[in-house]
A and B are shown apart, each in its own frame.
Chain A
Amino acid sequence: MGKSNVAKDFMLLIMFTAAVLTAPIWLAPIGANYPDLLQKFAIYGIFAIGFNILFGLTGYLSFGHAVFLGVGSYATVWSFKLLTMNVIPGILFGVILAGVFAVAIGYVSLRRSGIYFSILTLAFAQMSYNLAYSVLTPITNGETGLQLKINDPRYLDGMFIEAGAGIPSTNLFGIKMSGYSGFYFCAAMLIICFWISLKIFRSPFGVTLRGIKSNQNRMKYTGFNTRPYLLAAFVISGMYAGLAGSLLAVTDPLAGAERMQWTASGEVVLMTILGGLGTLLGPVIGAGVIKYFENIFSSIGENKLQEMFSGFPEGVSNVLTHIVSPFVGSGWHLTLGLMFVLIIIFLPGGIISGFDKLMNMFKPGSKLKPRKTEDS
């Protein structure tokens, strides 16, 4: 890899960092600059980046990644309940436990490839979800979700601090982990995760993983054992998911079983492909778009629409409201579905490839050497 590439990566990292840290400002015009959504952007960004390390690099499509998200959340909430409201131990437990689960599930699932691998991961995830919802309720609190209680023991905290009257908030050595401080904490994690992912993409390890994707058989014939590499990628991406799950619990201390449902696993697949599979930035963008739809589009009711179109004459605004309203509010799923279909038909490389196409249109002579999407 040439020096210019290193410089380019450095620039990418700087720009990414700047964009993430200034998100509260540049997301304001589209109404997405409130702490909870910003936190979700960062957290699901981490989840998608991690998923991309497995799926984007190796081509192994896991349909059960949400199980690690759930495990991370449960472990972290238990750490809050039993040990301390400080988030560091919680995150460590979450990531480690998710890693342990990933080793176990990955070891078994990676014996198969293709759709068999997908179904294996799906089966493990659905088993975990069903059990967490029912039989394992003493650990997971089932449908209600694992929550903090006033009379939780919190042994570590108990040694240093006398308990207040209410449930204490999660904190990083005293800094509350809700609101904007929570976002900046998640943002810092996102930047670190992005940097690690960048390093993996550029490392010989990453090259090997890509080799497995393009032709596993050829690698096997040369006597190369691909399994340890695949397992490493699986565990890394499982730990990313565990971290994301932990952060969900950090910013909002509750862990629900539905985080492990297959639809949640499907969601991260959609995020990754929507943004741009195998690209560095794509998954983060995909995560942002889906979370934006879920939170903002779903809240636009007819009264909001009428407000938005109030600039038009009444007849026109009524017609516009009538046309648009099936796609917002309770119809936001419809918009999402249509978007998948359109993007996958017309922009197979995801949103990132759309950007690239746009850029190329303005760059004279660039048609001769199209940029590889993998480097964007």
Chain B
Amino acid sequence: MDAIFLQILNGLDKGGAYALIALGLTLVFGTLGVVNFAHGALFMVGAFCAVSVQALLKTSERVRDESITFFEAYKEVPYLETWWGETGTMIIDWAVPISLLLVIPFMLLVGLSMERGLIRHFYKRPHADQILVTFGLAIVIQEIIKANFGANPIPVPAPDIVAGSAQIGSWFGLSDNVVYPWWRIIYLIFSLTIIAAVFAFLQLTTFGMVVRAGMHNREMVGLLGINIQKKFTIIFALGAVVAGLAGAMYTPILPPDYHMGMDFLVLSFVVVVVGGMGSLGGAVAAGFLLGLLQSFASMNEVKSILPGIDQIIIYLVAILIILLRPRGLFGREGVMED
């Protein structure tokens, strides 16, 4: 029971990350009709925003390191600590939450310039061209990150106060052995909040209504005299912000490196397709579903019956869903079928 409860939590947590990435991907695909292979790179850029903020807060004075004697070594003392002492240390400790303030404007900017500068010229081009150009862009982005931050993962710890685990078992009357890291609980709540916000935005605002109409029938909305183009640009930027936020918040769970975008890319496409191309609800549902399945497939009890199942479960489910229900869980008919 305890084990299953924990695996459900793991699955939801993983699912939260998948859902956030897939949500942005689907937004862009559903509205602009663009298959964006650089979406994983946006997730990574968000994560490296957190890295940069941490580095910025840690901007340091180089002090000669006396403990190393055989060559001139320096250690770094952050200015914030020299100036403000304890308060400075605390600010550095809160780098990840603080970084969210940077992520939103920065990712908006990245999204806007990407759409204006590149993506919009590819609306009419075949999907293969879109894939290639965004894939090329993803390579360029990751190489730039690598040139600046190196190839090794960079630790970005969560604030000290939430670094440990919560006695979550006692909340639900389970054994004391059931603990779960605070940051993962926060991540789950965070992803649910973002998902809710995006849905509220699309359901409750006029802007959202136009966008939803545009997803259904772009020509018609255009004929009504609405500048759908401009709205789509904003949607693209919104997708970038969602991916960036997901990335920045994920850094304490997974120390970011330049390749993390590519690692998430394939998976997020599978999530989108399983959910149904262009279906926002589908993307979210599929994200959580695949997260849960992956967690359960990794259990020893399951693996002893089906060796290797944890390695292939995601793909197996994708194949089954596409064959049995070609539009995905909640997809509309005819999307991307030719």
Query: Min CB distance, A323 to chain B, in Å?
Result: 14
What residues of chain A lie closer than 8 Å to B76, measured between beta carbons?
Answer: none
Selected interface stretch from B55-63, B127-135, B168-176, B287-295: B127-135
Task: With both chains docked as a complex, state the minimum distance between the C-beta of A277 and any C-beta of chain B, in angstroms.
Answer: 7
Q: Does A279 contact B (CB under 8 A)?
A: no
Closest CB in chain B relative to A152 CB, distance in Å: 27
List 11 contacting pairs A-B, 8 Å CB cutoff, sorted by A.
A61-B128, A108-B319, A119-B270, A123-B315, A123-B316, A126-B312, A126-B315, A135-B308, A217-B338, A345-B118, A348-B129
In whole angstroms, how far apart are the Cα atoms of A108 and B318 in the complex? 13
Q: Are B323 and A266 touching (Cβ within 8 A)?
A: no
Q: Mark A265-281, 1 if CB is under 8 A from B, else 0.
A: 01001100100010000
How near does chain A come to B326, taking the closest CB pair, in angstroms?
Answer: 6
Chain B residues whose C-beta falls within 8 Å of the C-beta of A116 in the assembled complex: 273, 322, 326, 336-337
B139 CB within 8 Å of chain A: yes
| A119-B269, A340-B135 given; A114·B143 CB < 8 A | no
* Partner-binding segment picked from A230-238, A311-319, A330-338: A330-338
User: What's the least CB distance linking B88 to chain A, in Å?
Assistant: 35
Q: How far is the CB of A326 from chain B (nearest CB, A)?
A: 6
What residues of B have a CB within 8 angstroms of the CB of A134 in the complex?
308, 311
B140 at the interface (CB under 8 A from A): yes
Q: Which of B138, B140, B262 contacts A338 (CB 8 A)?
A: B140
Name the distance in Å between B149's Cβ and chain A's nearest Cβ.
14
B contact face: mostly helix, strand, loop, or mixed? helix
Residues of B with Cβ closer than 8 Å to A?
A: 35, 118, 121, 125, 127-129, 131-133, 135-140, 142-144, 147, 262, 266, 269-270, 273, 277, 307-308, 311-312, 315-316, 318-319, 322-323, 326, 336-338
Contacting residues, chain B, for A217 (C-beta < 8 A):
338
Query: B35, B143, B312, B337: which contacts A113 (Cβ < 8 A)?
Result: B337
Interface residue A19 (Cβ < 8 Å from any Cβ of B): no
Most buried by B among A108, A119, A273, A339: A119
**How long is the Cα–Cα vector from A239 to B273 in the complex, in angstroms?**
28
Interface check A130, CB cutoff 8 A:
yes
Q: How far is the CB of A298 from chain B (nearest CB, A)?
A: 13
Interface residue tally of chain A, by bracket?
A: 35 or more
B147 touches A334 (CB 8 A): yes
Q: Determine whether A104 belongs to the interface, using a CB cutoff of 8 Å to chain B.
A: no
- Least Cβ–Cβ distance between B41 and chain A, in angstroms: 10
For residue A263, which residues in chain B have a CB less than 8 angstroms away from its CB? 262
A115 touches B147 (CB 8 A): no
Cβ contact within 8 Å between B143 and A334: yes
> Which 8 pairs from chain A and chain B are nearest by CB?
A340-B136, A337-B139, A135-B308, A334-B143, A123-B315, A130-B311, A337-B140, A341-B136
Known pairs A108-B323, A115-B35, A122-B315; list 10 more (Cβ under 8 Å).
Answer: A119-B269, A119-B318, A124-B319, A130-B312, A136-B308, A217-B338, A273-B132, A334-B144, A337-B143, A344-B129
**Chain A residues, Cβ within 8 Å of B319:** 108, 120, 123-124
Q: How far is the CB of B113 from chain A (nearest CB, A)?
A: 14
A337-B127 Cα distance, complex, nearest whole Å: 18
Interface string of A98-114 (1 = CB under 8 A from B): 00000000001001111
In the complex, number of A-B residue pairs with CB atoms less than 8 Å apart: 121
Given the contacts A111-B323, A216-B338, A341 and B140 also touching, CB distance less than 8 Å = yes
A331 contact set on B, CB distance < 8 A: 143, 147
Contact indicator A334/B139 (Cβ below 8 Å): yes
Q: Please give the distance in Å from B90's CB to the nearest CB on chain A.
A: 38
**Is A131's beta carbon under 8 Å from chain B?**
yes
Shortest B150–chain A CB gap in Å is 11
A residues 48-69 in Cβ contact with B at 8 Å: 55, 61
User: Shortest beta-carbon distance, B128 to chain A, in Å?
Assistant: 6
Q: Does A183 contact B (CB under 8 A)?
A: no
Give B121 Cβ to nearest chain A Cβ, in Å: 7
Whether A333 lies near B139 (C-beta < 8 A) is: yes
Measured CB to CB, the closest approach of chain A to B307, in angstroms, equals 5
Cβ of A127 under 8 Å from chain B? yes
Kindly provide the distance from the CB of B309 to the nearest chain A CB, expressed in whole angstroms.
9
**A334 CB contacts on chain B under 8 angstroms:** 139-140, 143-144, 147
From B277, which residue of chain A is reached at the shortest CB distance? A115
Give every chain A residue within 8 A of B118 (Cβ-Cβ): 341, 345
B residues in contact with A277, CB < 8 Å: 128
Q: Which of A55, A337, A348 contacts B136 (CB 8 A)?
A: A337
Instruction: Establish whether residues B273 and A119, one from each chain, have CB atoms under 8 Å apart when the complex forms.
Output: yes
Say whether A240 faces chain B, with CB atoms less than 8 Å apart: no
Smallest CB-CB separation from A340: which chain B residue? Answer: B136
CB-CB < 8 A to B322: which residues of A?
112, 116, 119-120
Instruction: Enumerate chain B residues within 8 angstroms of A266, measured Cβ to Cβ.
Output: 135
Q: Which residues from chain A contact B142 at a C-beta distance below 8 Å?
A: 333
A36, chain B: closest CB distance, angstroms: 25
Across the interface, name the chain A residue whose C-beta is closest to B318: A123
Q: List B contacts of A216 (CB < 8 A).
A: 338
Contact of A78 with B by CB under 8 A: no
**Most chain A CB neighbours (cut-off 10 Å) among B266, B277, B316:** B266
Which residues of B are found within 8 Å of A108, using beta-carbon distances? 319, 323
- Whether A124 pairs with B337 at a CB distance below 8 angstroms is no
Expressed in whole angstroms, the minimum distance between the Cβ of B35 and any Cβ of chain A is 7
- Decide: B312 and A340 in contact? CB cutoff 8 A: no
**CB atoms of A326 and B311 under 8 A apart:** no
Q: Is A80 an interface residue (CB 8 A)?
A: no
Q: Tell whether A337 pairs with B311 under 8 Å between CB atoms, given A122-B266, A127-B316.
A: no
Which residues of A lie under 8 Å from residue B262 when comparing CB positions?
A: 263
B137 cross-chain contacts in A, Cβ below 8 A: 337, 341
Q: B337: which A residues are within 8 A, CB to CB? A: 112-114, 116
